[in-house]
Amino acid sequence: MKFTPLHLDGAYRIDLERRSDSRGSFARLFCRDEFRAFGLSETWAQCNVSHSVQKGTLRGLHFQRPPKADAKLVKCMAGAVFDVIVDLRKGSDTFGDWTSLTLTADLGEMIYIPAGFAHGFQTLTDHAELLYFHSDSYSPENEGGVHYADRHIGIAWPLAISSLSERDQALPPIDKVEPIG
């Protein structure tokens, strides 16, 4: 696996190293020893999959607070998405900054998102599927979110939005969100 730091401290792009032969290929998605070497989560409490029907669907921006703040490892299994993280860590020099990575099923690249970040994505194809590993379990009472179109964050979403949940539409702006930590 190849780990490339993103410009927000603690976040990584992780590329697969496929071993190919006449049958096809084999690649690691997670290796405890390699993740340990980069100080990343070594255990996963939950693994989820989401399927979005329409290109342009937006989900996010979501996070969990302590004591259930979770790191995430996200991989696109079908189609492609524009994946976004926003730093909400208390005391962080980059609080409120965002970065993005295009995740495609073809290349298989992944994003590692530390605890304390909000996460969201917009699908770039119909029938996009995301696989998530979470370092802690789902906890609705510790869930939070920030509005995808907050002008202080200023995320440049690539497409017109075709589908958005009512919950995401009603999320607060970042100046109403308590820093995480």
Ligand X SMILES: Cc1cn([C@H]2C[C@H](O)[C@@H](COP(=O)(O)OP(=O)(O)O[C@H]3O[C@@H](C)C(=O)[C@@H](O)[C@H]3O)O2)c(=O)[nH]c1=O
Q: Just list the catalytic residues.
A: 62, 132
Residues 175 and 133: their CA atoms lie apart, in Å, by 29
CA distances from 161 to 20, 165, 170 (A): 38, 11, 15
> Near ligand X by CB under 6 A, which window of 19-27, 29-37, 117-125, 147-155?
117-125
CB 140 within 8 A of CB 39: no
Kindly tell me which of 94 and 163 has the beta carbon lying closer to ligand X.
163
Tell me, residue by residue from 50 to 69, as one string, x for binding to ligand X by CB under 6 A and - for no binding: x--------xx-x-------
Cα distance between residue 82 and residue 132, in whole Å? 15
The answer to whether 79 contacts ligand X (rule: CB under 6 A) is no
Q: Of all helices (H) and strands (E), which one includes residue 164?
A: none
| C-beta separation of 17 from 2 below 8 A | yes
Tokens of 45: 């409490």
For ligand X, the closer CB: 25 or 48: 48
Interface region with ligand X, contact rule CB under 6 A, candidates 36-44, 102-110, 116-124, 148-156? 116-124
Give yes or no for residue 119 binding ligand X (CB under 6 A): yes
- Interacting residues toward ligand X by CB under 6 A: 48, 50, 59-60, 62, 119-121, 132, 138, 165
